Structure 1
């Protein structure tokens, strides 16, 4: 019974979003009697609150702990690219974000705040990395993440700046742009002392992959110094 209710709600949300979801629609789609629904949920708000809890930790699944030896730029790129790909594939999460933007209640605030809670340690990690740089990496990252959200949520309405995300080649262009911007950002956070160490290691013929792993400097930057 619980499974049929959840499956019915998912189908309706994918079709019309959270704003058009009704208890009557859920019961009709699940082919159950009202008593079977209200035995489990007080009302529609109570159902939605339970339903969206499965997405409370969505962002924590996107932000994975980097594998040993992975440099910071690669980790940063992976987070943003994973965010884009994960959100693009998750239609329910898209509808949840649309609903949060349009709805101000306890449930929408909780899901948004928990996502922010998972973001804070990541912000601090990169803020520390860029502490000696003029780049405000937290502000820049907020713009990038917000842009990813908007472009995906907007794609059904029209193209944006000529990019139509329904086309695979435009999605690939966006991912390529994310990686390019990451490279530009991380060029600004490499400390002079670390560069000197990298140069010395290059002179000793240490492989670039190892230098990158030890110093955190991306290989594409090492190739130029």
Structure 2
């Protein structure tokens, strides 16, 4: 009978590494990026802070390990990616509306993503730059589908989408931080969220209609 190999030390190392990675997520959700220091991470993980340097090299590398393991934008897009595959360029307005509404719902519920966006706009870092690049890749795949429809018009769908995404982020962050109205809308209420979703649909409907009119004139 073959002798079993002892994996105790290896398992302990992997458990400690995972505890440290998990601790980064907890701190981001509860304290934001300003709480990410070696002492906080180690205390939350319940391990010696020296293990951060031993296993990851430094704190930045540990944080990068955590962030790279998360796919915020794909998760926020919900089923929009499936719609893009299924439609292959058909009904791109509905795809974008679905994408934006899914982002609104996800961003409203996910405190961690709220903290990540705050981090992006508060501090320049390589990690956050790369997270933003992942978001842009998802957007680029969608705009490739819409470009033929808007190519011969003066309608700037990218600018419209940018304003809508920026509005979603700011209104949600404002509501979560201050619990106050925004343009007399209670974003923290189901009725307020529905008003924003309806406005997204109306803006996109108007945007695509203007492009359709321009295309008919050409």
What TM bracket, shorter-length normalisation?
Answer: 0.7 to 0.9
Give 1:191 deviation, angstroms: 5.8
CA distance in 2, matches of 1:102, 1:72: 33
**Which residue of structure 2 lines up, in the alignment, with residue 216 of structure 1?**
none
Secondary structure of residue in 1 paired with 2:142: helix
Q: Which runs of 5+ in 2 are unaligned?
A: 1-14
**Which residue of structure 1 lines up, in the alignment, with residue 120 of structure 2?**
100
Residues 87-123 of structure 1, C-alpha deviations (whole Å, 9 max, x = no match): 2222211111111111112222222223223322322
Secondary structure of residue in 1 paired with 2:155: coil
Q: Is 1:122 the counterpart of 2:139 in the alignment?
A: no
Secondary structure of residue in 1 paired with 2:81: coil
**Contact kept in structure 1, 2:21 and 2:65, CA below 8 Å:** no
What TM-score comes out, normalization by structure 2 length?
0.78
Q: Is 1:14 the counterpart of 2:29 in the alignment?
A: yes
Residue among 138, 162, 165 paired with 1:142: 162
CA distance in 1, matches of 2:91, 2:147: 16
Which of the pair has the greater relative contact order for Cα pairs under 8 Å at 6+ separation? 1
Q: What is the root-mean-square deviation of aligned Cα atoms in Å?
A: 2.3
**Which residue of structure 2 lines up, in the alignment, with residue 169 of structure 1?**
191
**Which residue of structure 1 lines up, in the alignment, with residue 81 of structure 2?**
64
What TM-score comes out, normalization by structure 1 length?
0.76
Q: Which runs of 5+ in 1 are unaligned?
A: 195-225
CA distance in 2, matches of 1:79, 1:116: 13
Q: How many residues align structurally?
A: 193
Give 1:17 deviation, angstroms: 0.3
Secondary structure of residue in 1 paired with 2:152: coil
Residue among 111, 122, 132 paired with 2:152: 132
Give 1:68 deviation, angstroms: 4.2
**Contact kept in structure 2, 1:127 and 1:136, CA below 8 Å:** no
